[in-house]
Chains A and B, each alone.
Chain A
Amino acid sequence: MSSDQPFITDESQVVTETRDARMTGQGDRFNSRLREAFGSSPFILTKFDKFLNWCRGSSMFMLQFGIACCSIEMMHTYAVKHDLDRFGSGVPRASPRQADVMIVPGTIVSKFAPRMKRVYDQMPEPKFVVGMGSCTISGGPFQEGYNVIKGAEEVIPIDIHVPGCPPRPEALVYGVVKLQERVANGEASPVTVKPYELEEFSDLERDELVDKLADQIDEDELVMRYNFADSP
């Protein structure tokens, strides 16, 4: 069509089979098997919660969050070959504010735990966490390290643990799909005790250590206190 002509609708040219079918409702373009199952009624009856959960589980945004070795396998899970996106959950978001799921892929050490907690807090509800690798379960190979938090669960609640060091991408896919299933079914994961909290320095119980650090840390500064002796 040359551009100096005004746009004219020429019925004879635009009518397509699809449009016909759409207008008369005869074609099967929109008829999924699901549609057939519902019969002729255009309505479905379900609980609102159930519907919402199904939506939630079918479209989950991941937080782009790399910590250690496991994040390499996590990248492979997102990328070609394993392509987590096939399951409706493969879009990593750089900002925690836009993310639903946080995959924790690596070892948590003392300096990072407060930051991770902060990132977790920044995610909007409802939020879910997949712990990837042995490190997030117990500290993994570094369990005995002086600086290693013995599992991510000491800091944030975790919904699904994927064991392995590192878990293969297939295992992570399985873990994420399991989480989706759970979310869709509205199953809540048990609330776990998180011994390490981010709190203001002045709220800490006063003891020798706190007294010693009193001139280094401001009253209202956020701190995390680790009781390594009580760790598993």
Chain B
Amino acid sequence: MSLERPDTADDGAVERTPDELEALLGDLVVDRDDHLNAPGFVIRPDTVQETLSILKEQAGYDHLSLVTAQEYENRYESIYHLKKFDDPTQEVSIVVPADKDTPVSESAEPVFRTADWHEREAYDLMGVEYDDHPDLRRILLPETWQGHPLSMDYDQERPQIASLPEHANPLQEHHKDAESDTMFLNIGPHHPATHGVLHLKTVLDGEQVVDVEPDIGYLHRCEEQMAQNGTYRHQIMPYPDRWDYISAGLLNEFAYARAAEDLADIEVPEYAQVIRTMGAEMSRIAAHMLALATFALDINGDFTATFMYAINDRERVQNLLEDLTGQRLMFNYFRLGGVVWDLPEPREEFFSKTRDFLDQLPESIEEYHNLITSNEIFQMRTIDTGVLPPEVAKNYGATGPVARGSGVDYDLRRDDPYGYYDELDWDVVTEDGCDNFSRLLVRMREVEESAKIIEQCVDLLEDWPEDERNIQANVPRTLRPDDDTEIYRAVEGAKGELGIYIRSDGTDKPARFKIRSPCFSNLQTLPEMANGEYIPDVVAALGSLDIVLGEVDR
């Protein structure tokens, strides 16, 4: 972390009390609006950059996790959720109210690059405008959309028109001379290498990429609206499965469970936490296996064998997950306060199946190393391509294997423990290569760590006394958290920090439900990695980011 003022002897890790922070910000603070997870300071809409730079440079809040926009009866509000990469339990929320009629506030983009997309999303869905933003356009909905769907006066019934325009080369003007010429290339939205419906607007100069812009929103399924329409107790839980749908469902459910349980103050029995932790790590293995499979395919179409092997391993985990939850993909297994049912009977069979899986896992990993990581072609394609320096990664709010592949030692399972992780013995994996290869290695090594976690959970569960197997806490049938309680909680999903912001309004449905998707932030780094490289490297970089469009677009 760069220190602007070394004389303050502030190394960022120093924890400040809310009052000290308020003193640091001085006049900038006009009011306090504390959230359950962090102190909240209300500031004026024209002092966003100033406030955030003070917090970033002098207090060490170097991670802009999320920007939430919401509408009240009398005002709009943007919340900047800040954290520290060194210690994510130190959080602070900066609340920026904006005028109801003309909601304008200053953009945070000059301080945190990641604010670019987050603010575009806030503009798109909520209608808050950001001054000084480099490129305030719609991001998820078609450019021709009318109205801002999450704002209060939006009429869902009105007709809309989506256009299919011919895309123009944004750099055409700059390269008019005879020597250089640029070519515009559309990749996607229907393309095998984009892992779903992503559209990359790419401009080539010769064979080199000079500009790539991810165009997203082809799978914007209104997840936030769906959650806001559902009741806390049962109706929201099925949706998280569908954010990161690469079998990572239980990890996502963990995110909602954690946020809602902290909001409603529900204590989860230990036994349920162990089951949750085990299930979540199984999901992680399944998710990383798919990342591996498709990445190998992206690098070289001839790696179909790897794809089949990895899918085979996924089938094995999915069998276990199916035994546990009853579903292959959309588990809907967590409930607030626990899980829906206990381990499948006969328990011994489930344990021995799980053990069998864990026993053969090192062998398959060895096989993947033989097949891909030690393969020369593969190494040539991935080592030193798609380089993402740690400072850049942090600036874009990248998390998960993407950040850890750049040497950023950040894992919420350890740094902000939840579930049963802090009782178990496992390591956070990081690699310093900052390239495509490192990101893959991180995922492969994380599979081994997950296996360790599962094994310990199985040991624990096996010996758990029968009369203490409590899978659910007592939770009232209808949850009505107190009016105007706000919370932001995150867990380590398969792709990184998966956070949820909830504001309650005293009813049984959330007034605002905002999802912090790791893929959304991670995908933003693509231009940094791809510019100046060749097209195949763009594809490799995209594959190594391991995005899921369901989570990018939500």
The interface-forming segment of A34-42, A61-69, A124-132 is A61-69
B142 neighbours in A (Cβ, 8 Å): 110-111
Size bracket of the B interface: 35 or more
A73 neighbours in B (Cβ, 8 Å): 328-329
List B243-260 residues whose CB lies under 8 Å from chain A.
245-247
* Docked complex: B287-305 residues within 8 A CB-CB of A: 290
Query: What residues of B have a CB within 8 angstroms of the CB of A224 in the complex?
Result: 161-164
Residue in chain A with minimal CB distance to B163: A223
- Decide if B238 is an interface residue (CB 8 Å cutoff): yes
Contact A114 B162 (CB under 8 A): yes
| From B189, B195, B229, B239, residue with most partner A Cβ within 10 Å | B189
CA–CA, A142 and B242, complex, Å: 10
Contacts of B329 in A (CB 8 A): 69, 72-73, 166
Q: Report whether A111 and B162 are in contact in the complex, using a CB–CB cutoff of 8 Å.
A: yes
Scoring A110, A166, A225, A226 by chain B CB atoms within 10 A of each residue's CB, the highest score goes to: A110
Given the interface contacts A69-B329, A94-B192, A221-B165, does A226 sit within 8 Å of B218 by beta carbon?
A: no
Decide if B219 touches A166 in the complex (CB within 8 Å).
no
Main DSSP-derived SS at the B contact region = loop
Q: Which of A71, A119, A148 contacts B221 (CB 8 A)?
A: A148
When chains A and B are docked, how far (Å) is the Cα of A69 from the Cα of B247?
9
Quick one: which of A115, A165, A209 contacts B330, CB cutoff 8 A? A165
Chain A residues, Cβ within 8 Å of B247: 72
Q: Which of A122-148 contact B (CB under 8 A)?
A: 141-142, 144-148
Alpha-carbon gap, A161 to B251, bound state (A): 30
Docked-complex contact B161 and A112, CB < 8 angstroms:
no
Q: By the criterion of a CB under 8 Å from any partner CB, how many residues of chain A are at the interface? A: 57
Q: Quick check: is B160 within 8 A (CB to CB) of the other chain? A: yes
**Which of A69, A109, A115, A166 is the one whose CB lies under 8 Å from B190?**
A115
How many angstroms from the CA of A217 to the CA of B223 in the assembled complex?
29
B543 within 8 A of A: no
Partner of B159, one of A107, A165, A216, A226: A226
Q: How far is the CA of A210 from the CA of B220 in the complex (A)?
A: 24
Residues of A within 8 A of B223 (CB): 142
Question: Is B222 among interface residues, defined by CB-CB distance under 8 A?
Answer: yes
A40-77, CB < 8 A from B? 64-69, 71-73, 75-76
Report the Cα distance A209→B147, complex, angstroms.
12
Give CA–CA (A116, B157) in the complex, Å: 23
Q: Are B245 and A142 in contact (CB under 8 A)?
A: no
Question: Of A67, A71, A118, A148, which one neighbours B164 at CB under 8 angstroms?
Answer: A118
Q: In whole angstroms, how far apart are the Cα atoms of A146 and B162 in the complex?
A: 13
Q: Quote the shortest CB–CB distance from B313 to chain A (angstroms).
A: 10
CA distance A133 to B312 in the complex (A): 23
B141 & A222 in contact (Cβ 8 Å cutoff): no
Judged by a CB distance under 8 angstroms, whether B158 is at the interface is: yes
Q: Chain B residues with Cβ under 8 A from A209's Cβ?
A: 146, 158-161
Decide yes or no: A142 and B222 within 8 Å by CB, A115-B164, A216-B144 being known contacts: yes
Q: Mark A203-226, 1 if CB is under 8 A from B, else 0.
A: 010000110110011100111111
B312 contact from A81, A111, A115, A198, Cβ within 8 A: A81
- Inter-chain contact A72/B245, CB cutoff 8 Å: yes
Whether the pair B192, A64 counts as a contact (CB closer than 8 A) is: yes
- CB distance A119 to B190 under 8 Å? yes
Task: Report yes or no: B162 in contact with A110, Cβ–Cβ below 8 A.
Answer: yes
A94 to B229, CA, bound (A): 38
Give every chain A residue within 8 A of B189 (Cβ-Cβ).
Answer: 112, 115
Contacts of A21 in B (CB 8 A): none
- Given A72-B290, A221-B165, A226-B162: A146 and B149 interface contact (C-beta under 8 Å): yes
Inter-chain contact A228/B156, CB cutoff 8 Å: yes
Is the Cβ of A71 less than 8 Å from the Cβ of B196? yes
Contacts of B141 in A (CB 8 A): 110-111, 147
Question: In the complex, what residues of B have CB within 8 A of residue A94's CB?
Answer: 191-192
Specify which chain A residues have a CB less than 8 angstroms from the CB of B181 in the assembled complex: none
- Identity of the chain B residue whose Cβ is nearest the Cβ of A75 in the assembled complex: B311
* Residues A180-232 near B (CB distance < 8 A): 198, 201, 204, 209-210, 212-213, 216-218, 221-229
Nearest A residue (CB) for B238: A141
Contact A148/B222 with A65-B190, A110-B141, A201-B163 known, Cβ cut-off 8 Å: yes
Contact of B158 among A111, A166, A213, A228 (CB under 8 A): A228
- On whether the beta carbons of A109 and B330 are closer than 8 Å, the reply is no
Residues of B within 8 A of A14 (CB): none
**Is the CB–CB distance between A69 and B330 below 8 Å?**
yes
**Inter-chain contact B162/A69, CB cutoff 8 Å:** no
Residues of A with C-beta under 8 A to B218: 109, 111-112, 115
**CB of A106 within 8 Å of the partner chain:** yes
A116 contact set on B, CB distance < 8 A: 190
Other A-B pairs beyond A115-B164, A217-B161, 9, CB < 8 Å: A79-B307, A94-B191, A109-B219, A111-B140, A142-B221, A146-B154, A147-B149, A201-B163, A223-B164
B: which residues have CB within 8 A of A? 140-146, 149, 154, 156-166, 189-192, 195-197, 217-223, 225-226, 229, 238-239, 241-242, 245-247, 290, 307-308, 311-312, 314-315, 328-330, 549-550
Between A and B, 6 residue pairs with Cβ closer than 8 Å are: A68-B196, A80-B312, A110-B142, A148-B222, A166-B329, A204-B161
